[in-house]
Structures are given as C-alpha cells and as structure tokens.
Amino acid sequence: PTFLIGLGAYGAAMLDSLTGLPIPVCLLFGVVCAIAGGLLLALPALRLSGPYFGLVTLVAVLLLQNAIVIFAHWTGGEIGMTVPDILSIDSTVNYWYALGFLVICAIILFGLSRSTLGLILQACGQDKIEAAALGFNVTKHKLAAFCVSAGFSGLAGGMVIFYQGTASVDTVIDLSIAV
C-alpha cells in the first residue's frame, strides 16, 4: 500500500498547493489518483502470485520515489512540499477528524463484507478455482478489491498530509512502515 498511500498523498498535496481548492476536493482527487494508480499496478500484478506480486509492488514504490525526485519542481523532490491547508492546529479537533474517518471507513468496510460483493470477494480470496467454478469472474473481483483498497489507502495518505502540513518521501515511507 506504500505506492497507493504515496499517490493519494501527493495527488492531494499537489492539487492543494497548485490550485488552493478545499481539502475535501483535494482528498477526493487523491483517492482518484490512488485508484488510477492501483488499476495500473493491478493489471499486470494480478497475473502474478507469491513473491513476484510483492516484487511488483516494491518496484512501484521505487518508481514513485524516482518520479517524486524527477518532478521536483511540482513535488518538492526529496525535501518535500509544504501544503498550504491543514485540517486543524488543535489536537482535539484532529482527534475527532481521525475518529470520524475511522468510523466511516469501518462502517463502509463492514457493509461491504456483508454484501453480495463482499461474499464473492471472500470466496475468491479463499479458493479462486472454486469461485470460478461457481461462475464468478475472479480477476474482475480481485481488481475491484484492489480498487477499494487503493481508495482507502489514497484517502489515508491525503489525510496524513493535511494533518502534518507537508508531503515528503519520508512521510509516506514512515506511514507505510507504521501500517
């Protein structure tokens, strides 16, 4: 998820820095960036399994780091970029933002796990051959699961950027290690 967190974080930070749009719009843009990057990553990666899948995601993180350095005039490079807007300077308000974010994500994921799509995703994860025998398109459902994960990862990356007020490679890497 480091690649997806980074895409969401930098997408939201760059939109805020370049246009000054409100934070929710920037967060939504970060989610869209993460989902688009997740689709580009998932299409070749889902054909792989085991350690090869892990290697593809690791290479994606390295490519993102290089892109951040190459496009330093927009991203701030290795030093990072300051985001003009932050959620709040009050730690209590930031706590409530984080708690609200957690509760909303938990409700969405709980609802997804109890839905028909969630049950199909569970079946595809447990035994893809049996799920395919039942008539489910396993690749399509794995891609959907990857997109859901990418959306939440991008939103988390954007939230951290607007909490800290800065976007840097170290911030993204430290966040993904903590996860």
Q: Which amino acid is at 35?
A: I
Predicted local confidence at residue 175, as pLDDT: 61
Predicted local confidence at residue 179, as pLDDT: 57
Q: pLDDT tens digits for the chain (179 residues)?
A: 788 888 899 899 989 988 889 999 999 999 999 999 989 888 887 777 778 877 887 788 788 888 888 888 887 777 778 888 888 888 899 899 889 989 999 999 999 889 988 888 888 888 888 888 888 888 888 888 888 989 999 999 989 888 888 888 777 666 656 55
Predicted local confidence at residue 129, as pLDDT: 85
Whole-angstrom distance, CA of residue 84 vs CA of residue 174: 22
Predicted local confidence at residue 127, as pLDDT: 84
Predicted local confidence at residue 99, as pLDDT: 93
